A and B are shown apart, each in its own frame.
Chain A
Amino acid sequence: MTQIKNASQGSGLTTLPNDPKRFGQLIFGGIFLMAFIGYYSMARGMPPGSLESPGPGMFPTWVGLGGIVISLIVIVESLLNKGESGEIGFPKGHDLKVALIFTATLVGYILVLPYLGMMASSVLYAITFLRFGSTTSWPRSIIVGGLIGAILTLFFSSVLGLPLPRGVVF
């Protein structure tokens, strides 16, 4: 990977499969090319109006076309090695484990939020993250996590009067 270069240096020595950032940009460009083709197709189904009186479909049609062209530019740049280049700093080992726990607890939090309400789900989330996302013991996780979740929720709902979702318990 020593041949990986910066965008501005442009010697074209690195092949695409050996350059994670370029490869990632190629995939990213491809995904958004598909997305913008879908976006454009939907825009074509909206009333376009006329140039004198544009309808709701006209602007999205232009944006869709622009998106397709720009996605193609990203793809071409990654193929021709004109864009960013180098390693991707994906987490590995312990960092990967922490990132996965972070994601899993966050998704869990969001999923239970409509059912348990803000207070209970926040407390549950803070305890779970502290226990599994760090080396905090169960008793400490319960005390600290419980306090973080409860105090924040109570402050915003009771002191500032923000309407927060209520669940089956709270």
Chain B
Amino acid sequence: MGTIEGFLYGLELALTPEYILAAFVGALAGTIIGILPGLGPVAGAALLLPLTFAYEPTIGMIMIASIYIATQFGGSMTSVLLNIPGDAQSVAATFDGYPMMQKGRGGAALTIMMLGAFISGIIGLIFLLLVVPLAGGIAIAFGPAEFFALTAGGLIVLARISGGSLGGGLLPMIIGVALATVGIEDSRSYSRYTFGNLDLSLGVSLAAVAVGLYGLSELVFMLTSDRQKTGPIKLRARELLPTKREFRDALPAWLRGSPIGFGFGVIPGPAAALSTFASYRIEQSVSRNRKKFGTGAVEGLAGPEAANSSATIGSIVPVLMLGLPFSATLALMLSAMQVQGIQPGPLLSEQHPDIFWAVIASVLVANVILLLTNLPLIGMWIKLLQTPTKYMVPFIIILAMIGAYSIASNFIDIYVVLAAGVLGYFLRILGFSPASLLVGLVLGPMIEKYFVQGMVTYQGDLAMMFTASGISIGIWAVVILALFAGLAAPLWRRLRGNTADERIEIPEDIKEEVKK
């Protein structure tokens, strides 16, 4: 099936009432969890994912894709309204979005953000359709050594980028990979690290770990910080309309941000967050209003938000085509696919064209739904943002327990939530990155699978795992560079004798948010 033909087939499926409803529910739920105080996109998505397992795979997948897109968007709304980014990729929206809010242009900022997300979502989708045949071709050329390099190497690079120091980045990653070895081993049905407990035979549930790691620990931070003291937010309906000048400033920024975001999205790593900062920097250098940056420049909000939306769509490519997630939310998405009995990879579009194309087309449907529903519902979102913490906590905890139990109707997942919550709290206060733990938990079994396949294929030649082809050599070279570039950087700075730092000034609390 050709790309256009496939997309039209997917669109036909996605426009059936039950699939539109699935996209609508996903978009609505995703926006709510994206903006809900104390429930970031990862924890929120983790809470909702077990609930999608009750439906047929295509409906479940459409809901998951819609939740994923909407959570990213919901996270940016809190950046503009409260100066609290929902996640790392929403940080850039605080730079100029919140100053716009302070100047009484918060409504216009939200509209610019929503329109930008829609336009860049469409542009991202066009890029996605162009990339799908290429990605499929490349992926088919991959053997076990290349997949091993991509999974193991990609994980190491992600861990290195997310963490501050070498050990600080790698420790959560190896904990995640170690947790992934718990349960029955596939090839010989050997029980590993279950300590005779049958409940552990199925392994450690990713959703339970994500809820604990992000949800529980975030609740403790929320209860013990000033975040719960949210002042009144006032937005009038007429403020939602951008002025002609604001629109004129936003348009080129949307068009610049979209390809930047998509480009970052398809690269393994914390793509969306990096793309927003790259876009902000580019806008800062090309804008006519560069002096306004940081004080409410429209381009400073429109560019990064377009990049964010486009990167979100771009990052679906490695998941669908290679089965490789490189963020915590995408790791959850992949895990949900596997629960539904779908193995993403180069053959997905051949084996399950209905699911593959319906999911891609539902990205368009979800974007339209987000645009149509979010502006009229802005008042409701603001009210939701101001829900007192004391009511949110029991609501979120009960939801977490229901979600965790419903994964496998087993109490072990509830205990895992608690244990992961304690671990997540200490990881975060000590400056480690929980994201690499979660991705390690998903990629761990894949790394083992490709390692075993590779060793069998290359008859035990370990060197071949790293040097089987130019692709694997290239990937490992990038890994080595990522691992040790940090050590070389101070030396390089000293040689240049240059200590001047032209980076964007980011407040300390925002830096903490990026680390999460």
Other-chain residue from B168, B190, B456, B460 in contact with A77 (beta carbon distance below 8 A): B168
Are B165 and A59 in contact, with the CB atoms below 8 A?
Answer: no
Q: Give the chain B neighbours of A51 by CB distance below 8 A.
A: 455, 460-462
Q: Give the chain B neighbours of A36 by CB distance below 8 A.
A: 174, 178
Q: With A73-B166, A152-B395 in contact, is A107–B171 under 8 Å at CB?
A: no
In the assembly, what is the distance between CA of A124 and CA of B444, in Å? Answer: 39
Q: Nearest-CB distance from A86 to chain B (Å)? A: 8
- Residues in B428-471 with C-beta less than 8 Å from chain A: 429-432, 444, 447-448, 451-452, 455-456, 459-462
Other-chain residue from A47, A90, A160 in contact with B190 (beta carbon distance below 8 A): A47
Please report whether the interface of chain A is mostly helix, strand, loop or mixed according to DSSP.
Answer: helix
Please report whether the interface of chain B is mostly helix, strand, loop or mixed according to DSSP.
Answer: helix
Other-chain residue from A74, A107, A130, A152 in contact with B168 (beta carbon distance below 8 A): A74
A3 at interface, CB cutoff 8 A:
no
Q: Give the chain A neighbours of B175 by CB distance below 8 A.
A: 32, 67
Other-chain residue from A28, A102, A136 in contact with B223 (beta carbon distance below 8 A): A102
Q: Give the chain B neighbours of A104 by CB distance below 8 A.
A: none
In the assembly, what is the distance between CA of A47 and CA of B187, in Å? Answer: 12
Q: With A42-B193, A84-B431, A109-B401 in contact, is A50–B460 under 8 Å at CB?
A: yes
Q: Give the chain A neighbours of B170 by CB distance below 8 A.
A: 70, 73
Nearest opposing residue in chain A for B190, CB measure: A56
Nearest opposing residue in chain A for B461, CB measure: A51
How many residues of chain A have a CB within 8 Å of chain B?
Answer: 75
- Residues in A1-59 with C-beta less than 8 Å from chain B: 7, 10, 21, 24-25, 28-29, 32, 36, 39, 42, 46-47, 50-56, 58-59
Q: With A50-B460, A125-B397, A156-B402 in contact, is A67–B430 under 8 Å at CB?
A: no
B267 at interface, CB cutoff 8 A:
no
Other-chain residue from B167, B398, B430, B456 in contact with A73 (beta carbon distance below 8 A): B167
Nearest opposing residue in chain B for A157, CB measure: B402
Are B431 and A21 in contact, with the CB atoms below 8 A?
Answer: yes
Q: Give the chain B neighbours of A32 by CB distance below 8 A.
A: 171, 175
Other-chain residue from A77, A89, A98, A148 in contact with B394 (beta carbon distance below 8 A): A148
In the assembly, what is the distance between CA of A126 and CA of B399, in Å? Answer: 12
Nearest opposing residue in chain A for B187, CB measure: A56
B220 at interface, CB cutoff 8 A:
yes
In the assembly, what is the distance between CA of A46 and CA of B406, in Å? Answer: 32
A167 at interface, CB cutoff 8 A:
no
Are B394 and A113 in contact, with the CB atoms below 8 A?
Answer: no
In the assembly, what is the distance between CA of A29 and CA of B170, in Å? Answer: 11
Other-chain residue from B165, B181, B418 in contact with A82 (beta carbon distance below 8 A): B165
Chain A CB count within 10 A is highest, among B185, B219, B391, B430, for: B430
- Residues in A117-152 with C-beta less than 8 Å from chain B: 118, 122, 125-126, 129-130, 133-134, 136, 144-145, 148-149, 152
In the assembly, what is the distance between CA of A160 and CA of B401, in Å? Answer: 15
Are A153 and B398 in contact, with the CB atoms below 8 A?
Answer: yes
Q: Give the chain A neighbours of B219 by CB distance below 8 A.
A: 102
Are B402 and A164 in contact, with the CB atoms below 8 A?
Answer: yes
Are A10 and B490 in contact, with the CB atoms below 8 A?
Answer: yes
Other-chain residue from B177, B390, B418, B432 in contact with A110 (beta carbon distance below 8 A): B418
Are A84 and B192 in contact, with the CB atoms below 8 A?
Answer: no
Q: Give the chain A neighbours of B391 by CB distance below 8 A.
A: 130, 144, 148
In the assembly, what is the distance between CA of A88 and CA of B224, in Å? Answer: 13
B415 at interface, CB cutoff 8 A:
yes
In the assembly, what is the distance between CA of A46 and CA of B51, in Å? Answer: 36
Are A122 and B398 in contact, with the CB atoms below 8 A?
Answer: yes
Other-chain residue from A24, A50, A83, A153 in contact with B164 (beta carbon distance below 8 A): A83
Are A63 and B167 in contact, with the CB atoms below 8 A?
Answer: no
Apart from A7-B164, A63-B181: 6 A-B pairs, beta carbons within 8 A? A36-B174, A55-B190, A76-B167, A83-B165, A95-B223, A129-B393
> Which A residues lie at the B interface, using CB under 8 A?
7, 10, 21, 24-25, 28-29, 32, 36, 39, 42, 46-47, 50-56, 58-60, 63-64, 66-67, 70-71, 73-77, 82-84, 88-91, 95-96, 98-99, 102-103, 106-107, 109-110, 113-114, 118, 122, 125-126, 129-130, 133-134, 136, 144-145, 148-149, 152-153, 156, 160-165
Task: Offer 5 A-B interface pairs, CB within 8 angstroms, sorted by A.
Answer: A47-B190, A110-B418, A148-B395, A156-B51, A164-B402
